[in-house]
Structure 1
Amino acid sequence: MTDRWNTPERQDLRAAVMDFTRRELAPQLPAWEDAGAVPRDAHRRMAEAGYLGIGFATDIGGAGGDLIDSSVVTESIITAGGSSGLVAALCTHGIALPHIVAADDPRLIERYVRPTLAGELIGSLAVTEPAGGSDVAAVTTRATRDGDHYLVTGSKMFITSATRADFVTTLVRTDGDGHDGLSLLVLDRDSPGFEVSRPLRKMGWQCSDTAELSFDRTPVPTGNLVGAEGDGFIAVMRQFVHERLNLAVHGYAVAERALTLAADYARDRSTFGRPLIDRQLIRHKLVTMHRRVAEARVLTRSVIERVADGEDAIADACLAKNSAVAACSFVVDEAVQIFGGAGYLRESEVERHYRDARLLGIGGGTTEILDDLAARLLGYTSTHRNDSPASGGTR
């Protein structure tokens, strides 16, 4: 069987992204963590290097490639000393643009997609609300039609890159209750009544700016509707599979990086006259960490390949994310333990991974919600229902 992740082209891509990360990103990461944001110029440099547009078609300004290629980019940034938060900050376009691309509106593609993939604009995706959490169908931010505009009123919470974003792809309610009344609008940052209510201080992902947004009768041209009215819920659900698999890649890549750091430290660190790695307990820890990484990587990559080939794989994407999150949580905890006091220091890279990892079981659907969704899709319910992964049902 051909290893689709290690073709000559993807080996070259991996090496190039790792080199770029070591030169352009990793040395600046501590300063960006302290600043609470990644500078806009980093997006431009990523675009100029040809990596920002990977996974997007060339005819819309991307660099080509598929979900495997964009996953290789994520892996490579983290492996070379980047972080989960850095990937989130640099690659927010991966959740802000796909809905616009799928709607295939040439005007929106020219206005938002091309300049974002060129590193000239930054976009965000706004779904979650302060009182709604993961309940997407309960969105209350309302868009009321007023001539050739919508007037948007409401608020959004936990929005990645929101303090820097030039536009926000926003889920709003254009009709009655439930998922059928939801639509997507692109809101420009400089629109009247659009306010970044407050930046949010977080445990991890500190270089990834996050904020609460508010809208007070913010006018949005009707031409900024993504797709048709009422299509917002389905559009968001389709892209959730990609977002969850991306976070699964974060999980096993961070775990693998933490394992590498812990193994190197165990070789270099001596206690009571012997290197740590000569102690059976440490060696067994490293082997268990290695196994957990390998299991998560194999499962996640297999699901990514299926999705890249056109399968829905909704349930398996949930399982992959939860498996990778569990592996990452275990490995980063063990890595800090191997480092001891040095792993508790803020200047330690492994400490950053420990903090960043905690978000992975929350973002993109909590572990508990994804387990419940998978249970229903796999038919583990009290009554027989046609909730198989093939049906794509999310009931």
Structure 2
Amino acid sequence: MGSHALQELVEDLAARLRRSVVIDDPLVRFICSSRHFGDEDPVRIRSLLQGRADAEIIRYVLDQGVAQWHKPGYIEGNADLGLLTRYCVPLRRRGHLLGLLMVVSPDKALTPSETEAIDEVSASVAAQMYAEQIEDDAEGTSARELLSGVLGESPTARAVAQQQILDSGLLPDAPHAVVTVVQVAPSHEPPGQVEVALRGALEGFRRTRTAHGLASVSPERAVLLQVCERAPACEELTAQSARIVEALDTYLDASAAPVLGIGGRGAGLADAWTSYGQALVAARAARRMPELKRVGDWEKLGEFAVLLQLPDHALNESLLPKPLRTLLGATGGQRLEETLRCFLEHAGSIPRTAEALQIHRTSLYYRLRQIQEITGLDLDHGADRLVLHLGLRVRDLLGSPAPTE
């Protein structure tokens, strides 16, 4: 909810115009609104009742490019969404978009004197919002510095930051900690919009029913440290991450393609730096493995967690074992790869592999002999199986077609 000063400015302008006025933040989230003047539409009513606009409305408004506007304009109405046309003023200060002032104007019939009044009040609103933002930024800077310290490489700096966090009351001394990293790809968003979106997506998780959190946001990523009395379940963290992704998909263009990495569940603040390193690895997994649906969890990565320790320049097709490359390039290679993968996933069990592939055991034995002849490896030998299994895992990470010699 907006400050009392903003509310007074909005009410005064609405009374002068005899039109409904609303102030939203840069993510088209409700800050404050005037009373109605018989011009309310379904979107306005839902926003007032819910305290926020629907995701489809937010996306519709942002798709008009309002985050890049430097002068007022009209947002066309949309009957399917229940939205009347609005006159929109981008509220800027020193180049930064602070929010949007909107006046319901279905007929686009605002007079010059009315737009002049809107401009005058918009300048006062922007000044008030800028002053409030400066206060928030000062608090946020301190929190970011402490978070950077407690997640850093220096044991001394970690200990100092940990004590300062506890002494300041930013976080309680809880027995469990987990770090989530959110990464956003370079996109066409205007300057500052990604940071605003990241803050908006994470703000609901700074304090929840089961955890206390501290967040740090930069132009292309965010870090969320949460501490809690009991270790959070994988399902809880997956659901939380899905909500963050959903919010970012609403606030940002599709090219941003946000991914999340969830670290291991550490032993309180003292072990949060370990969870942070694991979260970075999990985020790499989310970026490389589409089947994860943009959320990687360290505790579910298994052997991928080891492979993803390799730097990007080393994680390439040269890591595929030559026997596997030979198999992939052979006639019927795709079918044989499927058979090999299933055989290894079922720990070499012939009955379970045949059942999973829905083929007769005789056919399975034939395929396995083919695989051994092509690769020159013995599937009864543990080391040979490991070579092929790790090779398939590398292939999953590369996400590329079968390599050639």
The interval holding the TM-score normalised by the smaller chain is under 0.3
Query: TM-score scaled to structure 2, two decimals?
Result: 0.24
Structure number with bigger Rg? 2
| Higher RCO by CA contacts (8 Å cutoff, separation 6 or greater) | 1
Query: TM-score scaled to structure 1, two decimals?
Result: 0.24
